[in-house]
Structure 1
Amino acid sequence: MTSQAETASDPLHLPSGQSPESRVRVAGWATDPITLNGLTQTLVGHFEVFVATGELPDDVDVLVYATDRVTPDTVAGLRRVTARCTAPVVLVTSELGRAELMGLVECGVVAVLHRSAATEERLVETVDLAAKGGGSVPPNLLGDLLRQVREMQEEVLAPRGLNSTGLTPREIDVVRLLAEGWDTEEIGKQLCYSERTVKNIIHAMTSRLKLRNRPQLVAYGLRAGVI
């Protein structure tokens, strides 16, 4: 899958009465220009819309990604589009293979709409939901997604002592005590570890999770729900 140009365009429209502070900035991306035009025309009356043709602006709130069929190549293309963007993704597609579900989740897809069901009202509702931190998956895909999550837990995470947060039980204990303001010596005494062991645990977590420091580690623990 290739991009259609080099950079994202200027915004197409800001709905009247919506302040810059409250606006929802939506980037539209499609695999063909006709679909892209229809997508942007549908969204432009409700959001500030960008045509996503390359690297997305940093302040985009939602990416709407439309494609006829999701394949491994589609997932790879979506991964490139979202590599530097943390915005949630709403996927609009006519065909989705169940094998690609986990890959889509890894790319930040939080909602899936079948193309035949993507009316203006439904699309706008889904984008609003994604902008507020929600998500939506068709019922026929939800069971497959849960099964794949369970298989990942049983076959990949559990054998390594990890859970869905990417942390081991002892790492969770350390993060919780860091969040309470304890230093490494105090944590070691509390958990019956040496101070060096505690430092090694913290270093292992920050390196594996690509975090810069302990405050970021605590923030990760909050987002993961372990604190």
Structure 2
Amino acid sequence: MEKIDHILVVDDDRGLREVVTTYLERSGMLVSSAANGREMHHSLDRHVPDLILLDLILPGEDGLTLYRRLRESRYRSVPVLMLTGRSDVTDRIIGLEMGADDYMAKPFQARELLARIRAVLRRTRALPPASPSLEDACILGFGEWRLDTSTRQLLESDDTVVTLSGAEYRLLRVFLDHAQRVLTRDQLLNLTQGRDADSFDRSIDLLVSRLRQKLNDTARASRYIKTLRNEGYVLSATVTVCHETFVE
């Protein structure tokens, strides 16, 4: 039986929740809804969704605070598509820097929302084609780091676990799967988010910056992710493959 995608809509606008719920249900999805953070957590306790549609402007704890708490909880791997009615790009930048899987500004068309949701779900469930030697790998090593592809844990040489958001994990996997190959911003955006960049889209640069911070990598003296002016980025490290598993 084909799996039915479960979407959790978190928005204090009752009318919007009802419209989105009706449209997504007619498109074959299961939908739960919440008006605030408290209701969101009650819903999560009952059933873990496949994706959370999260408004940034909420009563009580705002969407960014709720998103930060999600990424620190057992729901950290659930993809999040952020919504906001603000025209200021600051919220978008903050959301993308925090590792949100996608972002839409209100008002939006229901068809585009559905397309974005499906794109995020596809990206979450299927990483881009990798080198044959990496497809079945459990552990990918590069420099002083190891990435467990089954648990999505990034470990330093002393086995310290570094938490990655869903977007950061996908970006790192793309770099590891295409090590020592130059990837343009358009290619990275398409591989990680399933869409092309517009002339003002700097979300990949923000995400690369966040990943570099996690790897203790600096743009000026980068050991791993190097910037090639007017070309893009390249993971310069050699990737090794092993099949051990981490024991916590």
TM (norm. structure 1) is: 0.51
List aligned pairs for 1:166-185, cutoff 5 A: 176=240, 179-180=241-242
Partner of 2:217: 157
For residue 87 of structure 1, give the secondary structure of its aligned residue in structure 2. Answer: coil
Partners of 1:92 and 1:113 within 8 A in 2: yes
Tell me the matched-pair count.
155
Cα RMSD, aligned residues only: 4.0
Show CA shifts across 1:116-140 (max 9, x none): 2x21211111111111114558736
Q: Distance in 2 between matches of 1:153 and 1:109?
A: 13
- Displacement of 1:43 in angstroms is 1.6
1:124 aligned onto 2:105: no
Equivalent positions of 1:22-61 (< 5 A) are 22-46=3-27, 47-52=29-34, 53-55=39-41, 56=44, 59-61=48-50
Identity of aligned residues (%): 13
- 1:113 corresponds to which of 104, 114, 139: 104
- Counterpart mapping for 1:84-99 below 5 A: 84-85=74-75, 86-95=77-86, 97-99=88-90
- CA offset digits 1:81-124 (Å, max 9, x no partner): 453322211222222644444542465522222222x2121111
Cα pair distance change 1:41/1:103, threshold 3 Å: same
> 3-state SS of the aligned residue for 2:85?
strand
How far residue 75 of structure 1 moved from its aligned partner, in angstroms, is: 1.1
Change (3 A) 1:26 1:151: closer
Change (3 A) 1:130 1:154: closer
Q: Deviations over 1:23-80 (max 9, x none)?
A: 11111111333332232222221211112423325642111123459xx943112223
Match of 2:64 among 67, 72, 75: 75
TM-score, normalised via structure 2 length: 0.47
124-133 or 43-52, larger mean C-alpha shift: 43-52
Work out whether residues 7 and 50 of structure 2, in 8 Å CA contact, stay in contact via their aligned partners in 1: yes
Query: Which consecutive residues of structure 1, in runs of 5 or more, have no partner in the other structure?
Result: 1-18, 182-213, 218-227
Contact 2:4 2:30 in 1 (8 A): yes
Moved segments of 4+, more than 6 Å: 153-156, 159-162
Structure 1 residues 35 and 78, CA, compared in 2 at 3 Å: closer, same or farther?
farther
Unaligned runs of 5+ in 2: 124-192, 226-234
Contact 1:30 1:36 in 2 (8 A): yes
Equivalent-residue separation in structure 2 for 1:27 and 1:107 (angstroms): 20
Q: Is the 8 A contact 2:5 2:30 kept in 1?
A: yes
* Corresponding position: 1:148 with 2:200: no
Deviations 1:136-190 (A, max 9, x none): 58736522x24434655788632896656xxxx9xx76x72xx335xxxxxxxxx
Q: Check whether the contact 2:53–2:82 (CA below 8 A) recurs between aligned residues.
A: yes
| Alpha-carbon distance in structure 2 between the residues aligned to 1:128 and 1:54 | 21
Tell me, what secondary structure is at the counterpart of 1:26? strand
Larger Rg: 1
Of Structure 1 and Structure 2, which has the larger fraction of its residues in strand? 2
**Using the alignment, how far apart are the partners of 2:91 and 2:10 within structure 1?**
19
Contact 1:88 1:108 in 2 (8 A): no
Seen in structure 2, the aligned counterparts of structure 1 residues 109 and 91 have a Cα distance that, compared at 3 Å, is: same
